[in-house]
A and B are shown apart, each in its own frame.
Chain A
Amino acid sequence: MNSSILRVGNGGVQSAASVARREAWLRRLPLVPAFVYVVLVTQIPFALTIYYSFFSWNLLKPGSFKFAGAENYARLLTDESIRTAVLNTVVLTLCVIGISVVLGLAVASLLNSEVFGRGLMRTLMIAPFLIMPTAGALIWKDTLLNPLFGLLPNLLGPFGLGRVDWVNRFPMATVVAVEVWRWTPFMMLIILAGLQSQNPEVLEAARVDGANAFQAFRRITLPLVRPFLELGALLGSLFVVQTFDSIYMLTYGGPGEDTTNVPFLLYIVAFQGFNIGQASAIGVVAVILTTIVATFALRTLFSIFHVEARH
C-alpha cells in the first residue's frame, strides 16, 4: 500500500489518469492507519485462531503441537461442558435481555411522564450501568447477598428467608439479577430517547379521538419505539453474550458448571488448561454464533441511520 503512494507522489509528468488515481489514494490515505491497525490486531489473529483450531496443542506439554484435523471440532459436538456452556450463554442472554428490555421500557415510560425530579431520577438510574462491573458484582455478592453478613438475608429474616445462600442456591438467577440491574439502565436510556422523539400532539389527538392510554400506547407509542427496543436488545445481547466479569466475581462459573458460559469456558480452557487448540475451536464457533446476532444488530443500526437521513 505504502509503496504505491510513494510512487504516485514522485511522478514528474502526470497523466489525467494518474492524477485521478493520486486523488483517490489521497482520499483513502487517512483511512490507512486505522485500517491497518484493525487488520493487524483482529483479522490476522483471527486467521491464526482458525489455523490453531486444527491443531492439538497444550502449552503445558512442550512439543505437543501437532495437526489434529477436525478433532477439536468433533469434541465440541460431544463434550458435555461445551453444550452446557452454550446453553447457559443462551439462557443468560435471553433472560437478561428480555427482562431488562421490559423493565427498561417501564422505567423509560415513567421518566417520560410528568413526574417530579425527572433529571435526578435519570441520573441516579444510570449509575448501575456506570459502576465497574467487578465492583458491582462484589457489592452484590458480599454486602447484599452474603447469608451471614449481607443486607438482604437480614431484611428477609422475618419472612423466613433469613439464611438463604442466594449465590449458591440460585447461581444462574443471581447472575441474571445482577446483569439485569446493570443492563436495565442501558435499555432505559435508548428507549427514553425513542419516547422523547415522539410528537406529543399525536398522542393528544388520539386521546381526543377516544383512545384509552393502553390503546394509545399499543397503536402509537410502541410502533414508534420499536426500532429503539430492537436496537437496545440487539446491542445489549452482543454485550451480554460476552458476560465474564460478574460470573468470575459471583460464582466463578459454578457451582459445578451451572453458570459457565462460553466466555468463561474459554477462559478455563485457554488460561487454566492452556489447551490452545481446543480454545481456538471454541473461539471459531463463538465468532460464527456472534456473527449471526451481529448481522441483525447492524441491519437495525443502519436502518435507523437511514430513517434519520431521510428527515
Chain B
Amino acid sequence: MSAKVEAGGRFQFPTKKVAWSIVGWLVVFIFFFPVLWMWLESLKTEPQAASSPPTILFLPTLEEFQTVLSGDFPPFFINSAIASIGSTILVLVLGLPAAYALAIRPVKRTQDVLFFFISTRFLPFAASLVPLYLLARDLQLLDNIFALGLIYTTINLPLGVWLLRSFLLEIPPELFEAARVDGASFTTELRRIVVPLIAPGIAATSLICLIFSWNEFFYAVNFTSSTAATTPIFLVGFISGRGLFYAKLAAAATLASLPVLLAGWIAQKQLIRGLTMGAVK
C-alpha cells in the first residue's frame, strides 16, 4: 500500500501506482458525476440551476429541499416506506421458515424447489401482470398501498429464500443436532439458534428487498394513481418540466434516492451477495 522502500532504504516514487490512481479516479469521477451534479443542482436556486452556462460557484441553499418537503412529497415517501418495509417483513416471515426447510432439513428434491422459487423471480412481469391487475380492480385494491406491498413481496420472496438459505448453510449442523437432542421444538430452534446466528444474513436480505421495492416503478405506475402512489411516481411529475424546476427536481431526486443510497453504502459487503442470491460472497 505505502510507497516502496528499497533494500538500501532509498525511497522510490511509486510512479505506476500514481498513474493508475489518476486513471482510476478519473473513471470513478465520470461515473459518480451525475450523482454529484444532482446534489449540486439541489443546493442551488432555480435560476442558478437552469442557467447557461452552468453555475459552478454558488452559495448552497436548502431552499428547494424545504419546498419539496413542505409540499406534496411526504405522502409519496411514506407510501414507499410502507410498501417496502411491509413487504420486507413479509418476505422474512415467509422466507425464513422456507429457507430453513431447504437448508437445515432438506426435503426431497430440494434442488427442484429452489429452482422453482428462483424461476418465479425471473418470470417477466408480463407473465402475471394482466390477471393481477384485473384481480386488484375487481377487489377494489387498485391504488392500495398494501396491495402494492403484496406484489413487492412476490418480487422479493424468491430472492429472500435463496439468500437466507445461503446464510443458513453456513451454520454448523452440530448446533442443530445438539438442540434437537435437548428436545428443542422447531420454534425454539428458530428463535434460539437460527435468528441470532444469521442476523447478518437477515440484514443483507432486508437490504436487498428494500432496494428492489423502494426503487420499483412498473407496478407502482400501473397499480397506483394517487393515494397509494410511491416516490418514483412523484418524480414522474417532473417529466414535462421545461427547465424551470431543475433545483426542485434535483432536490426531490436526491431525497427519493437517499434511503437506498445510504443503505447500499452502509452494507456494501452484503450487496454483492444479495445481488447474486448468495452465489458470490
Contacts and interface: CB of A to CB of B under 8 A. Distances in A.
Interface of A: 24, 26-31, 33-35, 37-38, 41-46, 48-49, 52, 106-107, 110-111, 113-117, 121-136, 138-140, 142-144, 146, 148-149, 151, 154, 181, 184-186, 189-190, 193-194, 228, 231, 235, 238, 241-242, 244-245, 248-249, 262-263, 266-267, 270-271, 276, 279-280, 282-284, 286-287, 290-291, 294, 297-298, 301, 304-305, 308
Interface residues of B, number: 99
B49 A143 contact: yes
Contacts of A131: 35, 38, 253, 257, 260-261
A99 B266 CA distance: 28
Given A149-B50, A290-B123, 12 more contacts: A24-B107, A30-B186, A42-B127, A45-B130, A52-B131, A127-B32, A128-B34, A142-B246, A148-B243, A154-B53, A189-B271, A279-B126
Given A37-B154, A49-B131, A282 B107 contact: no
B261 A138 contact: no
B81 interface: no
B43 interface: no
B276 interface: yes
B83 interface: no
Interface in B225-281: 231-232, 235-236, 238-239, 241, 243, 246, 249-250, 252-254, 256-257, 260-261, 264-265, 268, 271-272, 275-277, 279-281
- Binding site of A, secondary structure by majority: helix, strand, loop or mixed? helix
Contact of B126 (A143, A193, A287, A305): A287
A38 B97 CA distance: 14
Given A139-B38, A140-B34, A282-B126, A132 B239 contact: no
B54 interface: yes
Contacts of B126: 49, 262-263, 266, 279, 282-283, 286-287
B95 interface: yes
Contacts of B122: 238, 290, 294, 297
A143 B38 contact: yes
Contacts of B264: 126, 129-130
Given A115-B20, A135-B235, A282-B126, A298 B118 contact: yes
A286 to B, nearest CB: 4
Contacts of B130: 45, 48-49, 52, 270, 276, 279-280, 283
B128 A41 contact: yes
A119 B118 CA distance: 32
B123 A34 contact: no
25 contacts: A30-B100, A30-B186, A34-B95, A42-B128, A48-B130, A113-B24, A115-B21, A127-B261, A130-B211, A130-B261, A130-B264, A130-B265, A132-B256, A134-B232, A138-B253, A142-B243, A149-B51, A151-B54, A154-B53, A189-B271, A280-B130, A283-B129, A291-B119, A294-B122, A301-B279
Nearest to A35: B98
Interface stretch (B64-72, B176-184, B197-205, B212-220): B212-220
A142 B21 CA distance: 32
B235 A132 contact: yes
B34 A27 contact: no
B133 interface: yes
Contacts of A266: 126, 129
A148 B276 contact: no
A294 B116 CA distance: 12
Contact of A134 (B18, B49, B236, B261): B236
A142 B239 CA distance: 9
B131 A48 contact: yes
Interface string B8-41: 0000001001101101110110011011011001
B41 A143 contact: yes
A142 B238 contact: yes
Given A41-B154, A143-B37, A189-B272, A115 B124 contact: no
A297 B246 CA distance: 40
B123 A42 contact: yes
A249 B267 CA distance: 29
A297 B277 CA distance: 12
Ranked nearest first, the 6 interchain pairs of A and B with the lowest CB-CB distance are: A30-B97, A45-B128, A135-B253, A283-B126, A34-B98, A45-B131
A123 B265 contact: yes
Contacts of A34: 94-95, 97-98, 117, 157, 161
A114 B23 CA distance: 12
